[in-house]
Amino acid sequence: MTDNILTQQEARRRLVTPDDMVSCSVAFIDCRLPGSDLKQNYSFIGPGVTQSSSQVVNIPQPHGFNIGAAAMPKGVTNNLHLHFTAEVFLIHEGSWRFRWGAQGEHEAEFSAPAILTIPTWIFRGFTNVSAQETDGWVFTVLGGDNTGGIIWHPSVLEASAEYGMYLSRDNMLIDTHNGDAIPQEADLMPPLSAEYIAELKEYSPQQMAEFAVTGEQRAWSSRALLDAVLPGHGAQLAPVIGYGISQDRDMHPRIVRPHGFSVEWLKIPADGQVGAHCCEQVQVLMVFSGTLEITFNRAGEEVTITAPPRSVVSIPENSWRRYRALDEACEVTVTTRGDGRKRVVWDKAIVDAVQQQGWCLDPDGYIAPYEILPPSARRLINRG
């Protein structure tokens, strides 16, 4: 494994702070419908499923998934549509009512912090139902580098046409208010037939609840990262989707359906840190609370960036990094490419310090008491 060494410029380019975020108000065909005209769409990593050529993408490099966000005032709705790849909602602010089914007949509400994944090939929509008047904020993770776009419910296509909005056959917006010509029927995206809609899989509210992890349902482990036992470290992990970077053999994610990526919570105590480590897969951090300091590189000059709340940080594969919570505790989500379990490599100084505390990684990469391992197992201990 060759170390991926970042310059200060490259590290900063991989940080998307709130000041770097550029919204698009015409990302989707329903953007002029009453009750949906105030929503804002963001594309931080990859274009996601936007249907607008004016959408700004902060980091276009492929990650194996797309990261975006929706900002919507209270009462504003995103209408029924379906996805071909995974769609995961990470609720950062507010309370949201999600609807799904052939006509959006099922619904459930989730409030921050919660993570919900909606199965592919079913219609879904959502509304900000927060008690506060401020905008709600939801991060999204979409599966694949190319999501294939989305299919809108026939009722949305019909309603949008009354406001001069159409979809071409290549799934891009035609906006007659901006001077686009009214398209011929043959040039339009055809609506999904009622017969096919009737064949789509149905999920009850009880079944959909199995695809969500609320803030109260997070199962934190204080022994998920090797360095957590060291003074001044103490980070915890809580798995949500798939097998991520946890080194606690007793931790299991609630959602194991393949997504192409894993999602887990990382909590670092005030002035705590996660020591120098490396991962073969690309990762993305989303800062939910607190301010996170990220220092890259092990050999050569270290470079540091600071990620305030609501920031998105792309961590390239095979890069050495360490994290520190500034001033107050920091909660972050970690999205890692791939469905399989990921292996973290720790710096030798971390491995040696943890061994002095009586701990190590066993040959399967899980935390274990050092003294009980036989010499044959000790020879395989991670010494990054």
Q: What angle do CA 337, 339, 341 make, to 5 degrees?
A: 90
Give the per-residue pLDDT at 380: 66
Beta bridge partners of 264: 239, 334
Token representation of residue 74? 């209270």
pLDDT band of 134, cuts 50, 70, 90: confident
Give the per-residue pLDDT at 327: 85
Beta bridge partners of 57: 43
User: Is the distance from CB of 246 to CB of 254 less than 8 angstroms?
Assistant: no
pLDDT at 384 over 50: no
Local structure of residue 221 (DSSP, 8 states) = B
Q: Which of 96-100, 130-134, 191-195, 294-298 has the lowest mean pLDDT?
A: 130-134
280-333 tens-digit pLDDT: 999 999 999 999 999 999 877 899 999 999 999 999 999 999 999 998 999 999
Give the per-residue pLDDT at 177: 85
- Report which of residues 240 and 133 the model is more confident about: 240
User: Residues near 319 by Cβ (< 8 Å), separated by ≥ 6?
Assistant: 3, 4, 5, 6, 278, 296, 297
68-126 tens-digit pLDDT: 999 999 999 999 999 999 999 999 999 999 999 999 999 999 999 999 999 999 999 99
25-73 tens-digit pLDDT: 999 999 999 999 999 999 999 999 998 888 999 999 999 999 999 999 9
Which residue type occupies 192?
A: L
Query: What is the β-pairing status of strands 136-143 and 150-152?
Result: unpaired
DSSP, residue by residue, 327-338: EEEEEEEEEEES
Query: What is the β-pairing status of strands 57-59 and 40-45?
Result: parallel
pLDDT at 238 over 90: yes
User: Is the distance from CB of 35 to CB of 75 less than 8 angstroms?
Assistant: yes
> How many Cα atoms sit within 13 Å of 384 on the Cβ side?
28
Query: What is the β-pairing status of strands 283-296 and 303-307?
Result: antiparallel
User: Is the distance from CB of 315 to CB of 282 less than 8 angstroms?
Assistant: yes
Core vs surface per residue 236-257: b (16+ CB within 10 A) or e: bbbbbbbbbbbbbeebebbbee
Closest CA to 44 of 127, 141, 137: 141
Core vs surface per residue 297-330: b (16+ CB within 10 A) or e: bbeeebbebebebbbbbbbbeebbbbbbbeeeeb
Domains in the chain with CATH codes: 20-213 (2.60.120.10), 219-378 (2.60.120.10)
Token representation of residue 49? 């499923």
CA distance linking residue 241 with residue 258, whole number of Å: 9
State percent of the chain over pLDDT 90: 88
359-375 tens-digit pLDDT: 999 999 999 999 999 98
251-288 tens-digit pLDDT: 999 999 999 999 999 999 998 999 999 999 999 999 99
Token representation of residue 313? 């940080």
Give the per-residue pLDDT at 383: 47
CA distance linking residue 39 with residue 28, whole number of Å: 10
Alpha helices in 282-373 (DSSP H): 348-356
**What value does the mean pLDDT of the chain take?**
95
For the whole model, what pTM was predicted?
A: 0.95
Per the document, the length of the chain is 384
